[in-house]
């Protein structure tokens, strides 16, 4: 798996998820993640997008596959379950914790 393009694609998907859209003056979601989950996880999702774009932060292919699964597989992902937004937040925090530290790479 070529990780650089995959990282960029996942970061762009997160941006698309967090961008508000309107259709005929009514708000719509580009990705059907419940508003309660977006309200709880929005900051963490921004942090994940930033981490994905920061090439100094290392990440293994397995973590990228897991992140892709969490972002895109609605039936089995906590992001698409409105009844447990905290579980979605914990999942995203756990994934981001597996990214390498950018300051350690610079030293």
Confidence of residue 107 (pLDDT cuts 50, 70, 90): very low
**pLDDT in the model for residue 105:** 47
Q: How far apart are CA 55 and CA 58, in angstroms?
A: 7
pTM of the model: 0.85
> pLDDT tens-digit profile of 44-103?
999 999 999 998 999 999 999 999 999 999 889 999 999 999 999 999 999 999 998 766
What would the two tokens of residue 70 be? 């969490």
C-alpha to C-alpha distance for 86 and 1, rounded to whole angstroms: 31
């Amino acid at each position: 798996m070529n990780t650089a393009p995959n990282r960029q694609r996942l970061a762009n998907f997160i941006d698309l998820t967090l961008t508000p859209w309107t259709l005929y003056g009514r708000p719509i979601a580009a990705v059907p993640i419940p508003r309660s989950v977006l309200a709880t996880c929005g900051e963490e999702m921004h942090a994940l997008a930033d981490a994905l774009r920061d090439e100094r932060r290392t990440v293994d292919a397995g973590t990228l596959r897991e992140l892709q699964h969490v972002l895109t597989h609605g039936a089995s992902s906590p992001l698409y379950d409105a009844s447990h937004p905290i579980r979605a937040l914990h999942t995203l925090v756990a994934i981001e914790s597996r990214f390498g530290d950018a300051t350690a790479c610079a030293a």
